Chains A and B, each alone.
Chain A
């Protein structure tokens, strides 16, 4: 156990060095902070623009909260794919990592820790902006602490599983990985109903949406923090059923992601993709 932890710690330290030291700190701060804050401000400006017509202020708070927590998906799920891509294409180190005692799994988990840390900063900044500067309130937060803690833990577990799945996909994909990563970022924003109720999606997309743990995560967060559901169909469920739905989708998704990651890793080795540079 101790050697495994030491390797994990080294991978996390390496992740911190790579993520924090490559550029001007000011640029790094802009990059890590500006994007999530800008999206939050777009939502707020949209709400202000229609505030004379629209009256769903609690619903808006729910969308704002879900958008804040979506930073985890953007920063961990998608960025872990970029880690694989850049280690193979830019630094050309992936083959050495795969051959080292650390192995790819420990390396990716260690790198994910730093991504979680960075995402947490983004989430806290967006939440602080909403609470202090915009006057948004989620007064229901203290009502169900155990359910809220379980919801947060399950959502983060699903995020880690999604990150490993994307990393596995990027092991096999060549330059198309860039498109897939961009596509996943935007598709999940739409499919998980981050800023609107999933009921507004066409039926086939809604079915896909309900299989994704993040759809349940965002809806559970909205319900537990504001006391109001955004989705009419999920609004019929009790709090326990909603968190139960999140647990089931997280367990199933994580299991499938683990199996797929192992298969994708084997496939990448078989295809010789671990040391194949295709971008430049």
Chain B
């Protein structure tokens, strides 16, 4: 650590501290753990049972289970990342984050890392339901390719969450309702419960706008093979997810700088219940 520049050490420590608070805090309240782990999977169960009722092949149930597991992450990105600075503002903590000497991106990165780590464990409940309740089977797959797709999907999703977080800096109650409005419509546009190819041109447009669309499609292709009815080749989707990650990280940094100064000028950083 001594060989690293002092600013970088400070940012790494801030990132570690923010992630630590996130992980420890998320396990401190048992009712939140249960709700985060179980509730998103109830919707998934309903959609799997719809496929069963319609007489669809078993692979479609697997497809819905994979999408359902990813909803856990999307909910965390929206509420745990996007709306987080709104929560901090309501709790009167936001000014402390902005008074700290570290970079804002270090705080956002810590939030993302901590949020991802705590959500990873909760998403295992969805995996367990898929395996033991719905008896979902996957094809033989390359663990390296799976890891690459999963890591790039998560990094692009959490980079989007960091961008949301800075955008919501200005908002009051609208942040809450924007998150709510971005739940089911994004489930639809991401094809979480059906192959995105079903939407035709709209699916292709959604894939160009939402990393979740590409991520879920790529993960399904890795795990289910041709039964995933993929939109694009996995390698193309990997490159697109990488591009999403880079662009969204820059967007988060730029929007945080701009919106922080705007929020300070308009006196909104400490304004509650606007």
> Which A residues form the contact surface with B (CB < 8 A)?
22-24, 27, 30-31, 34-35, 38-39, 41-43, 45-50, 53-56, 59-60, 63, 90, 176, 179, 182-183, 186-187, 189-190, 194-197, 200-201, 230, 279-280
Residues of B contacting A200 with CB < 8 Å? 49, 52-53
Tell me if A59 and B177 are in contact (CB < 8 A): no
The answer to the question of B193 belonging to the interface, with a C-beta cut-off of 8 Å to chain A, is yes
Tell me if B56 and A50 are in contact (CB < 8 A): yes
Tell me if B49 and A49 are in contact (CB < 8 A): no
Known A42-B193, A49-B195, A186-B43; judge A31-B180 contact (CB<8 A): yes
**Cα–Cα, bound, A44→B153 (Å):** 26
The answer to the question of B55 belonging to the interface, with a C-beta cut-off of 8 Å to chain A, is yes
Q: Which of B19-62 contact A (CB under 8 A)?
A: 31-32, 34-35, 39-40, 42-43, 45-47, 49-57, 60
Residues of A contacting B193 with CB < 8 Å? 42, 45-46
Interface centre among A30, A194, A195, A196 (most CB of B within 10 A): A196
Q: Closest chain B residue to A194 by CB distance?
A: B46
Tell me if A195 and B35 are in contact (CB < 8 A): no
List the count of A-B residue pairs having beta carbons below 8 Å apart.
126
**Cα–Cα, bound, A27→B175 (Å):** 11
Residues of A contacting B46 with CB < 8 Å? 189-190, 194-196
Closest chain B CB from A112 CB (angstroms): 20
Known A49-B194, A50-B56; judge A186-B173 contact (CB<8 A): no
Q: Closest chain A residue to B36 by CB distance?
A: A179
Residues of A contacting B261 with CB < 8 Å? none
Tell me if A34 and B60 are in contact (CB < 8 A): no
Residues of B contacting A46 with CB < 8 Å? 47, 50-51, 54, 60, 64, 193-194
Tell me if A59 and B54 are in contact (CB < 8 A): yes
Tell me if B184 and A39 are in contact (CB < 8 A): yes
Residues of A contacting B187 with CB < 8 Å? 38, 42
Residues of B contacting A45 with CB < 8 Å? 188, 191, 193-194, 198-199
Tell me if A27 and B174 are in contact (CB < 8 A): yes
- Ranked nearest first, the 10 interchain pairs of A and B with the lowest CB-CB distance are A38-B184, A196-B49, A50-B56, A186-B42, A54-B54, A179-B35, A196-B53, A38-B185, A49-B194, A54-B55
Tell me if A22 and B173 are in contact (CB < 8 A): yes
The answer to the question of B236 belonging to the interface, with a C-beta cut-off of 8 Å to chain A, is no
Tell me if A49 and B198 are in contact (CB < 8 A): yes
A-B contact pairs, 18 of them (CB 8 A): A34-B181, A38-B188, A42-B194, A43-B50, A45-B194, A50-B55, A53-B55, A53-B56, A54-B55, A59-B54, A63-B50, A90-B173, A179-B32, A186-B42, A189-B42, A189-B46, A190-B43, A280-B91
**Cα–Cα, bound, A239→B33 (Å):** 44
The answer to the question of B95 belonging to the interface, with a C-beta cut-off of 8 Å to chain A, is no
The answer to the question of B178 belonging to the interface, with a C-beta cut-off of 8 Å to chain A, is yes
Residues of A contacting B32 with CB < 8 Å? 179
The answer to the question of B183 belonging to the interface, with a C-beta cut-off of 8 Å to chain A, is yes
The answer to the question of B273 belonging to the interface, with a C-beta cut-off of 8 Å to chain A, is yes
Q: Closest chain A residue to B87 by CB distance?
A: A280
The residue that B54 contacts in the complex, of A27, A42, A47, A194, with Cβ under 8 A, is A47
Closest chain A CB from B236 CB (angstroms): 22
**Cα–Cα, bound, A196→B50 (Å):** 5
Tell me if A50 and B51 are in contact (CB < 8 A): yes
Q: Which of B197-225 contact A (CB under 8 A)?
A: 198-199
Residues of A contacting B35 with CB < 8 Å? 179, 182-183
Interface string of B60-101 (1 = CB under 8 A from A): 100010000000000000000000000000111000000000
Interface string of B145-181 (1 = CB under 8 A from A): 0000000000000000000000000000110011011
Residues of B contacting A197 with CB < 8 Å? 53
Residues of B contacting A53 with CB < 8 Å? 55-57
Tell me if A195 and B50 are in contact (CB < 8 A): yes
Known A42-B193, A186-B43, A196-B49; judge A50-B177 contact (CB<8 A): no
